[in-house]
Amino acid sequence: MKKVIISGGGTGGHIYPAIAIANSLKAIDPTIQILFVGALGKMEMEKVPKAGYEIIGLPISGIKRELSADNLSFPFKLTRSLLKARSIIKSFQPDIAIGVGGFASGPLLMVASLMGIPTLIQEQNSYAGVTNKLLAKRAKAICVAYPNMEAFFPKNKLKLTGNPVRNDIVNSTNKRELAYERFGLQPNHKTLLVIGGSLGAKTINESIEAGLKMIIDSGYQVLWQTGKPYAERAKAAVEALKTPYAQAFDFIYEMDLAYALADVVVSRAGALSVSELCLVEKPAILVPFPYASEDHQTKNAMSLVEQNAALLVKDKDAKDELVQTTLRLLQDVDKQQELSKHIKKLAKPNAAKEIAETVLSLI
């Protein structure tokens, strides 16, 4: 029986690709045993068991950019995580370890490679992070979502697969009626989908809250995922308008239905969000998170903007420009069709299957 460890997490952008890889491995070989390794206290500890997989947490955390007491404890957390990773690997005895990014993938893949277990890295962004660049030296294969990644990794190890996306999103067409029912919105009304990411996006949320009445008064409706920190405030803003044309949720699990409903999408530019938008062929306005490591969200967004496949509003300009840009796009059907046509060309619908096949070929 084949055994696989998948390690990483921290945000939905790491977790959902990891689950998509696991599901594809199971589809090819139902007997395969899969164990996830995440970071204690992070969202993978909740989301992975919901998807039906076992997960063990490491006591690892990231290094904060500002001076912080947490940084002083980092060497101790790292040492404990390396020791726990070794114990997990000795106990589970995997045939391969996969890293999808996030705190836990560093210690787990480092220990696995030192113990002679083949490792595979799945790099989601157009700009590689420090951890993956270090791990790449010992990795057997590196699956990437963007071309020209030889700037960061050995060319002979690269495989351009795209980012793995949940199967329900790949099959999100023809679900519009079901989506209206699920989200309590009105049929025959153009819909703006706002995605703040799993942890929320303060600038996007504040901009949408300020312009919510204007969007609705212009004849559109809003489906708004806020993230937990902003949820109560957003729900209060919707309630105050007493309108059937807006709904706010802290988190949307049925993203296939949300995309089915959307005519235009406002989103951060995390790697997973960008990959999903390509697959569902939606005209999008991207507002990159400017403090992402190495500013990788801006680089992700620019890879679309340069292909005339999305619009970009900088985070610092969002409060002044986001709502106006959104209304212009909602009103311009030709521009919507143009963006959809170009974003579709960038889609990689078979990414999870290709990565799973690469994993199995390494065992």
Taking only the tens place, the pLDDT of each residue in 5-42 is 999 887 777 888 999 999 999 999 999 999 999 999 88
Q: Residue type for 250, please? A: D
Pair (124, 187) in one structural domain:
no
Please give the structure tokens belonging to residue 171: 């099959």
**Same structural domain, 51 and 147:** yes
pTM: 0.85
Residues 209 and 330 in one domain: yes
Pair 200, 84 in one domain: no
Residue 62 binned pLDDT confidence (cut-offs 50, 70, 90): low
Residue length of the chain: 363
Q: What is the CATH number of the domain that holds 335?
A: 3.40.50.2000
Are 183 and 332 members of one domain?
Answer: yes
Bridge partners (DSSP) of residue 38 are 57
Q: Are residues 232 and 124 in the same domain?
A: no
Tell me the chain's radius of gyration from C-alpha atoms.
Answer: 21
Are 19 and 156 within one domain? yes
Same domain, 147 and 189: no
Q: 154 and 10 share a domain?
A: yes
Q: Which range (56-65, 209-218, 303-312) has the least confidence?
A: 56-65
Determine the pLDDT at residue 68.
Answer: 60
* CB-count burial class (<10 Å; 0-12, 13-18, 19+) for 197: buried
Which pairs count as long-range contacts for 169-178, CB under 8 Å and 24+ apart, including other chains?
169/255, 169/256, 169/259, 169/276, 169/279, 169/280, 170/279, 170/349, 171/256, 172/255, 172/256, 172/257, 172/259, 172/260, 172/280, 173/260, 174/260, 175/256, 175/257, 175/260, 176/260, 176/261, 178/257, 178/260
Which residue's structure tokens are 């277990």?
117
Token pair 């803003």: residue: 237
Host domain of residue 259: 168-344
95 and 181 belong to one structural domain? no
Give the ranges where 99-173 is alpha helix by DSSP (H). 105-114, 130-135, 167-170
Q: Going along the chain, which residue ranges are E strands? A: 3-7, 33-39, 54-58, 96-99, 119-123, 141-144, 158-160, 191-195, 221-225, 246-249, 264-267, 284-286, 311-312
Partners of residue 249 on adjacent β-strands: 225
Number of domains in the chain: 2
Asked if residue 65 has pLDDT above 70, the reply is: no
- Residue ranges for the known binding site for UDP-N-acetyl-alpha-D-glucosamine are 11-13, 125, 166, 198, 252, 271-276, 297
From the list 216, 258, 218, the residue with the least C-alpha distance to 237 is: 216
Residues annotated within a binding site = 11-13, 125, 166, 198, 252, 271-276, 297
Per residue in 84-134, pLDDT (tens digit) is 999 999 999 999 999 998 778 999 999 999 999 999 999 988 888 888 898
C-alpha distances in Å from residue 134, one per residue of 113, 137, 183, 329: 12, 6, 44, 42
* Tens digits of residue pLDDT in 157-207: 999 999 998 878 877 778 989 999 999 999 989 999 999 766 668 999 999
Do 36 and 7 contact (CB within 8 A), yes or no? yes
The three-state secondary structure class of 192 is strand
Tokens 């089915």, residue? 260
Residue 209 sits in the same domain as residue 333:
yes
Same structural domain for residues 152 and 56? yes
